[in-house]
Amino acid sequence: MNARTHQAGFMRSLRAIAGAELALFRRFPRLVLAVIAIAMVPAAYALIYLSSVWDPNAKSNALPVGIVNLDKGYSYQKRDTNVGAELVAELIRTDAFGFRTMDDAQAAREAVRLGSLAFAVIIPEDFSAGAVPGVRPGGGQVTVVLSEGNNYASAGFARRFAADLGHQVNEALNEKRWEQVLLSVDGSGKSLTRLKAGMADVRAGAGRLSEGAAQYSSASAQLAGGFRQLGSGIKTIESKLPPDAEVKSMRAGTQRLVARQKELGSGLEQLQAGARKLTDGASTMREETSGIPFVGDKVSAGAAELATGGAQLTEGLGTALEGNGRLVRGATRLDAATEKMADGLGALEDGLRTLADKVPDDRQLEQFVASGRDLAAGAAKLRSGVALVESVLPASIEKLDGSARGLADSVEPALEVLAPVANNGSAFAPNMVAMALWLGAVMSVYLFNMRAVLAEHAQAPMLAKALGKFVLPALVVLLQSLLVFLMLVYGLGIAVPDMQTFALSMVAASLAFLATVYLLLRAFGEAGKLFAVLLLTLQLAAGGGVMPIELTGDFFQSVHDWLPFTWVVKTFRASLFGAFGNGWWHAWTVVVTSGLIALLLASFAGRWRTVERADYRPGIDI
C-alpha cells in the first residue's frame, strides 16, 4: 500500500511539475514561437551545411584551374612528340575542372596567389625530353601550384589531381613504350630466325676451320722437320764444296794450259816452216848433187832421203799443228768452263749461305709448331663455343599477349564497397545531424529554467523534479528530430534503408544529448552551458565523425569511447549505410544507456531553486 501511495505521489509530482512548465505557454504565448524557431534550427543548420557539401565532385568543373604549357617537344627514335600538348588536350577534354590555358607561368602563380585560380598546372620546356626517354625516375616534372592558405579544400583537390595526373601521364607514356616493345619483339623474332641460320653457317665454318687447323698443325710439324733436314743438307753441301784456293788454282792452271798450248803451236809452226825449208834445201841439194862425179849419186840419194824425211817431218808437224789447234781450242773451252764453274761454285756458295741464313732456327721452328697446335686448339674451342651459343638460343621468341594499353595499365584495383554511401553530403550527414541535434538540445534548455521549480513543488521527490523539468525540453528535441528527419528524407533525399531504426536512432540521440546537457546545467549551473559548448567541440574532435580516430592524438583516442557523440555517429552510420556490420543495436543501446545515466545523475546533481508561481518565467525573455 505504501509503495502504491509513493508511486502515485511520484506521478502526481511529475505531472504537476510538467504542467507548471506547460502553463508557461498560456502565460507567455510567444514561447510557442520560440519553441518553433528553436525546433527548426537543427534542421536548418543541417540543411544549410549538407546542401553546401552535398556533391562537390559533380561541380568540380566550375573550379578555375590554369594550365601553362611550355613544352618544346622531343624527337625520340626518329619520332617527334609533344607530351605537354597531348596532356593539355586530354585535360581539357575530360572537363574535370574549369581549365584555362595560359602562356605565362609567373602570371599563373600570381593568379593562384591572389585566389582567382584554385591551382595551376605548369608544364616545363623540357617536359617531353625528360619524360619520354625515362632515363631517370621523375624525369618529366609537372609543377602544380596551389595555395593551402587560400582554400585548404582546393589544395586537397590539387594534391589528388597531381597524383592522378602523374598516373595518367605515365600510363600514356607506358602505352607508347609497350607499342615499341611489341614491335621490337616481333622484329626480334625475325632476327632470331636469321641469327639461327647465321649460327648454323658459323657452326659449319667453325667445323671446317677446326679440321683445317688440325691439318695445318700436322703440316706445320712436317714442314718444321723438312726445314731441319734442309738446314742439315745445306751444311753437308757446304762441307763438300772445294775451297776457294783450289778453285782459283784450277782456274790459273787452265789459263796456263791455254797459254802453253798456244806457245806449243807457235813452236810447231816454226818447226814446220824449218821442215819445209829443209825439204826444199834437200830437194835442191839432190838436184844439184846428182851431177857430181863419184859421190854425186850418193849425195843426191842422201839428199833425196833427206827431202823425203823433211816432207814427212813437215807433214807430221802439220798433223801436230792440227792436234795442237784442237788442244788449244779444248784448253780454251776448258778455261771458259773452268771460269763458269768457278763462278758457279761462288754463286752456289753464296746461295747456300743465303739459304742457310733464311732457314729458321730450331727455336723459331718450335714456335711455328706450337702456333699450329694453338691454332688447332683455338679452332676447337671456337667450334665448341659456337655449339654452346647455338644450344642456348631459344627455339623462338613468343609474342607478348595483350595490347599496349593493357600491358601499360594491367592492374586496376576493384573496390568492393560493403557500406555504400551515395555522395559526399550523405557521408557528412551522421556527423552533422549529431552536431545539429546537440545544438538543438543546448538551445532547448535555454527556453526553460532547468534549475528552478515552483515553491509548491519543493518537497517533490528529486527524480520527479528532474523528470518533470525534462518533459517539455524532451518534446522540443523530439520535434527537432522530426523536422531533421523530414528534411533529410524529403528535403535532401537521403536514401534511408530502414526508416524505423533511423528514426529510433534520432530519438535516442536527441534525448541522450538533452540529458547530457541537462546534467551539465544541474551540476555546474549557467557555466554548464559553456561546458556544453566545450564538450561539443571535444566530441567533434574525438567522436570519429570527421576523420578516423586512429589519425588523431592519443588524448582524443583515449576519450573516444566515452563520448555519447561517438556512439550517436555510429548508430546513424549503421542505420543509414549498414556500417559496422549493421551493428545498429549495440550502438543504439550505448546511446540510450548513456542518456539514462545522465538523466539519473541530473536528478541528484546540484540544488533546486524555488520560485513562486507568479514569478516563474521562461528561461528567455520574450
Each residue of 462-485: pLDDT tens digit? Answer: 787 778 888 889 999 999 999 999
Taking alpha carbons only, the member of 554, 580, 555, 581 closest to residue 567 is 580
DSSP secondary structure, 549-600, as one string: GGGS-HHHHHHGGG-HHHHHHHHHHHHHH-HHHH-HHHHHHHHHHHHHHHHH
Give the pLDDT confidence of 53-99 residue by residue, as tens digits. 777 777 777 889 888 888 887 777 667 777 778 878 888 888 888 88
Which amino acid is it at 145? V
The helix-helix angle for 499-524 and 564-577 (nearest 10°) equals 170
Q: Is the pLDDT of residue 216 over 70?
A: no
Pairing of strands 98-102, 64-69: parallel
Q: Is the pLDDT of residue 207 over 60?
A: yes
> In which residue are the cell numbers 754463286 written?
347
Q: What does the pLDDT read at residue 364?
A: 67
Q: What does the pLDDT read at residue 247?
A: 61
Q: What does the pLDDT read at residue 332?
A: 75
Q: Does domain 59-189 have CATH number 3.30.70?
A: no
Maximum mean pLDDT: which of 189-198, 450-459, 489-498, 543-552: 489-498
Taking alpha carbons only, the member of 36, 90, 173 closest to residue 482 is 36
The C-alpha cell that represents 30 in the structure block: 510567444
Structural contact between residues 511 and 441, judged by C-beta atoms closer than 8 angstroms: no
Q: What does the pLDDT read at residue 485?
A: 93
Banded model confidence at residue 514, pLDDT cuts 50, 70, 90: very high
The C-alpha cell that represents 389 in the structure block: 651459343
Structural contact between residues 427 and 494, judged by C-beta atoms closer than 8 angstroms: no
Structural contact between residues 275 and 363, judged by C-beta atoms closer than 8 angstroms: no
Task: Tell me which H or E stretch contains 125.
Answer: none
Task: Tell me which H or E stretch contains 243.
Answer: none
Q: Is the pLDDT of residue 164 over 80?
A: no
Percent of the chain's residues with pLDDT above 90: 9
Q: Is the pLDDT of residue 238 over 90?
A: no
- Residues of the chain within CATH 1.10.287.950 domain(s) are 241-359
The C-alpha cell that represents 21 in the structure block: 512548465
Task: Tell me which H or E stretch contains 81.
Answer: strand 79-81
Q: Identify the burial level of 347 via C-beta atoms within 10 angstroms of its C-beta, where 0-12 means exposed, 13-18 middle and 19 or more buried.
A: exposed
The three-state secondary structure class of 325 is: helix
Give bridge partners of residue 612 from the DSSP assignment: none
Buried b / exposed e across 480-501, counting CB within 10 Å, b at 16+?
A: bbbbbbebbeebbebebeeeeb
Structural contact between residues 452 and 616, judged by C-beta atoms closer than 8 angstroms: yes
Q: Which CATH architecture group holds 241-359?
A: Orthogonal Bundle (1.10)
Q: What does the pLDDT read at residue 511?
A: 94
Pairing of strands 143-146, 119-123: antiparallel
Q: Is the pLDDT of residue 345 over 70?
A: no
Structural contact between residues 599 and 592, judged by C-beta atoms closer than 8 angstroms: no
421 or 516: which carries more pLDDT confidence? 516
Tell me which of 222-236, 532-546, 608-622 is least confident: 222-236
Q: What does the pLDDT read at residue 553?
A: 83
- Residues of the chain within CATH 3.40.1710 domain(s) are 59-189
Name the DSSP class of 410: -
| Alpha carbons 19 and 478: distance in angstroms, whole number | 18
Structural contact between residues 430 and 576, judged by C-beta atoms closer than 8 angstroms: yes
Which amino acid is it at 48? I
Maximum mean pLDDT: which of 8-22, 321-335, 372-386, 416-430: 416-430
- pTM (two decimals): 0.62
Banded model confidence at residue 441, pLDDT cuts 50, 70, 90: very high
Structural contact between residues 173 and 131, judged by C-beta atoms closer than 8 angstroms: yes
How many alpha carbons lie under 13 Å from residue 422 in its C-beta half-sphere? 13
When pLDDT is averaged across residues 182-208 and rounded to a whole number, the result is 62
Taking alpha carbons only, the member of 174, 198, 193, 173 closest to residue 83 is 173
Q: What does the pLDDT read at residue 574?
A: 87
Phi and psi torsions of 409, nearest 5°? -135, 65
Structural contact between residues 519 and 597, judged by C-beta atoms closer than 8 angstroms: no
When pLDDT is averaged across residues 338-362 and rounded to a whole number, the result is 67
Give the pLDDT confidence of 284-307 residue by residue, as tens digits. 766 666 666 655 666 667 666 766
The C-alpha cell that represents 319 in the structure block: 798433223
How many alpha carbons lie under 13 Å from residue 321 in its C-beta half-sphere? 14
What CA dihedral angle connects 449, 450, 451 and 455, to 10 degrees?
Answer: 60
| Alpha carbons 447 and 529: distance in angstroms, whole number | 13
Q: Is the pLDDT of residue 119 over 70?
A: yes
Give the pLDDT confidence of 239-252 residue by residue, as tens digits. 666 776 666 676 67
Q: Is the pLDDT of residue 1 over 50?
A: no
Give the other-Cβ count within 10 Å of 235's Cβ.
11
Give the other-Cβ count within 10 Å of 511's Cβ.
24
Maximum mean pLDDT: which of 134-138, 149-153, 216-220: 149-153
Give the pLDDT confidence of 252-276 residue by residue, as tens digits. 776 676 677 667 667 767 766 776 7
